Amino acid sequence: MGPAGAVQEVRQDDRMTDAPAELVHYAVADAVATITLDSPHNRNALSRQLVTELVERLERAGADPEVRVVLVESAGKVFCSGADLSEATAEGMEVGARRIVDLQRLVVTLDKPVVTKNLGAVRAGGIGIVAAADVAISAEEATFALTEVKLGLAAAIISLTVHHRMHPRAAALTTLGGEVFGGAEAASYGLVTRAVPADSLDDEVAAVCASLATGAPQGLRESKRILNRDLVARIDALGEEMATTSARLFASDEARAAMTAFLQRSK
């Protein structure tokens, strides 16, 4: 049965009562794999567990012949708050930075279109996921900020995808300023594909996913490879350098002091 046919059976991960609470949920219906970030305690920060589960769900969708499109969304309004600063201050970012580079590369190279749906806040590293996606639909009311500069850091690992998508002047303004900007601005900057009123977001995303799902698997795969060829080359050429830079900055006295102060204010 083709992707435009009857609704497929929805499949969800089994929960293990003796395992840590699942932070990333997975379900499939109508040829669309929906991956939902659900870590409210840290506003969907990119913790080790969340990134590990997100990678597993993306790979699962990529291997499923019934899936044509992958949708990444959040259970609450916050899409992703960026790096998990509590982990970064305790353990450093040597491994975490490379893990986030690999996550972006996986989104970019997955053989199926990846769509992000964003209702609310996206910060720092979360913007890298949005930028890596093939199609990003945002609510006009959503907010974005590349906040790294405020903490003595730099948008290093996410620059691989963010600076590929955003217009150079917009990238300079948002990266150096670190200020909040809205969904409509994100669309005008090239960061997201389209911004719509919040009450239209579900319908807009459903329509985009349904349209993408009409593509033949080979057509989707080969078209995406052509579209993302330059971005993949950019990640491969600069990924290690940006991961090293990120880890160095996170380990600096200036950044550690700023992150500690931020975490204390957030308690």
Cα(161)–Cα(129) distance, rounded to whole angstroms? 8
Q: What is the distance of C-alpha 175 from the center of its chain? A: 17
In whole angstroms, give the CA distance from residue 263 to residue 214: 46
> CB count, 10 Å around CB of 251?
14
Q: Which runs of E-coded beta strand occur in 54-107?
A: 69-74
User: At 24, phi and psi to the nearest 5?
Assistant: -130, 120
Work out the number of other CB atoms within 10 angstroms of the CB of residue 202: 14
Among 53, 73, 148, 185, the active-site one is 148
What is the enclosing helix (H) or strand (E) of 189? helix 183-189
Is 148 a catalytic site residue? Answer: yes
Q: Where in the sequence numbering do the catalytic residues fall?
A: 148
